[in-house]
Amino acid sequence: MYIPRTPSLTITLVDSSKSSTRVSFHTPEIYTGAQHALINSLPTDAAITKQIASQVFINMSLPTGNGNGENKLILVFETATIDQYVLVCVPAPNQIIVNDVENNNFDIELTSFINTLINSNICNPYGYTATVFLSAHLAVASF
Amino acid sequence: MAWIQKPTCTITFTFLDVSGSKGAMSLDLPAATLPSNAIVAALRAAIENVTDCAIVSYSLAYTSIDNAAPVPGAGSRVERKGAFKYLTEAGKTVTYNVPSVAATIVLPTGMIDTSDAGVIAFNTAMTALSGFCDSNGSDLTSFVTAYEVFRRTSKNQSAV
């Protein structure tokens, strides 16, 4: 069961020495857009450059992990725009998935996962949505 | 000042492996995706199916950037802060530190001038109904006090 924590609004400020810092406020609901009322009234001499509204959900079942998180499954997707790709990196893929990738023979688990990713409209940071699965790779990379 | 919302929001899953190490996996989704969207739960379940790690938490973040950020005020320093204390609906106090609090609103005593129009506007925004709350979700109901403090928040950096 995942329990939502209180959402927060984190603001980044830069001063005249170019030092930056962040300050976080909590909000009853997550704000997916700009919170101009607070931003405009913040009594500061520094410049406000960025704001991030976020919410964390905690798994309350105290899970214990298996596998090695440094093993990664990397999936590459094409988007409808040339030279724009979406990369997905999953830590500690299970053995079924590893076998699928090593044998280049995808069973229902990996196919289902890929379809879920595409149906979720995952995109790259520029907003280009993944449309076609391109390739899958296994890698070892530190956290 | 023009706040531009990024075209995507970022969903970040935190993983726990058998050694107790934690790692993260981030995906970008359309900015209109809310935590309550069924797609979020479907994505989480799909990831749980393909990894041996346990997912201990996940978060969604929506970023806006000022594409014409104003120049910081002369002499502004993020280490000089205004500590604003509020009373919550639950009767607890919570303090927020405003970096580089405007020098013009700091009184010689070190207290913040609470009669200043800017401070009043800020306190109004903070205590507006369903505006802001503490980490328990309890609404901020009233302003208590505000004063100047000095706290390190960044690595040493030359001003020039």
Is residue A143 within 8 angstroms of chain B, CB to CB?
A: yes
Task: Give the tens place of pLDDT for each residue, A5-23.
Answer: 999 999 999 999 888 899 9
CB contact under 8 A, A90 and B51: yes
| Nearest one of B86, B93, B143 to B116, comparing CA atoms | B143
Q: Give ipTM to 2 decimals.
A: 0.86
Question: How would residue A111 be classed by pLDDT, with cut points 50, 70 and 90?
Answer: very high
Structure-token match 């280049």, residue found? A104
Higher pLDDT, B45 or A63: B45
For the segment B145-157, the average pLDDT, to the nearest whole number, is: 80
Question: How would residue B132 be classed by pLDDT, with cut points 50, 70 and 90?
Answer: confident
**Residue B118 with chain A: CB contacts under 8 Å:** 41, 43
CA distance between the termini of chain B: 25
pLDDT of res. A33: 57
Buried/exposed code over B36-72 (b: 16+ C-beta within 10 A; e: otherwise)? eeebbeebbebbeebbbbbbbbbbbbbbbbbeebeeb
Which stretches of A5-143 are assigned E, i.e. beta strand?
Answer: 8-14, 20-26, 47-59, 71-79, 85-91, 130-140
Structure-token match 């309890």, residue found? B138
Mean pLDDT, chain A, integer: 89
Q: Give residue limits of the domains in chain A.
A: 2-59, 71-140
pLDDT of res. A41: 84
pLDDT of res. B159: 61
Is residue B93 within 8 angstroms of chain A, CB to CB?
A: no
Is residue A103 within 8 angstroms of chain B, CB to CB?
A: no
Does A64 score more than 60 pLDDT?
Answer: yes
CB contact under 8 A, B35 and A14: no
Task: Give the tens place of pLDDT for each residue, B53-92.
Answer: 999 999 999 999 988 888 999 989 999 999 999 999 999 9
Task: Give the tens place of pLDDT for each residue, A30-54.
Answer: 876 556 667 878 899 999 999 999 9
Mean pLDDT, chain B, integer: 90
Is residue B116 within 8 angstroms of chain A, CB to CB?
A: yes
Residues in contact with B9: Cβ distance below 8 Å, sequence separation at least 6, in sequence order: A32, B28, B29, B30, B31, B33, B60, B61, B62, B63
Task: Give the tens place of pLDDT for each residue, B82-123.
Answer: 999 999 999 999 999 999 999 999 999 999 999 999 999 999
Q: Nearest Cβ partner of A65 from B18, B101, B130?
A: B18
- As a whole number of angstroms, the distance between CA B112 and CA B44 comes to 46
| Nearest one of A71, A77, A62, A64 to A116, comparing CA atoms | A77
Q: pLDDT over 70 for what percent of chain A?
A: 94
Say how many CB pairs under 8 Å bridge A and B.
Answer: 298
Tokens at A123, concatenated:
């995109």
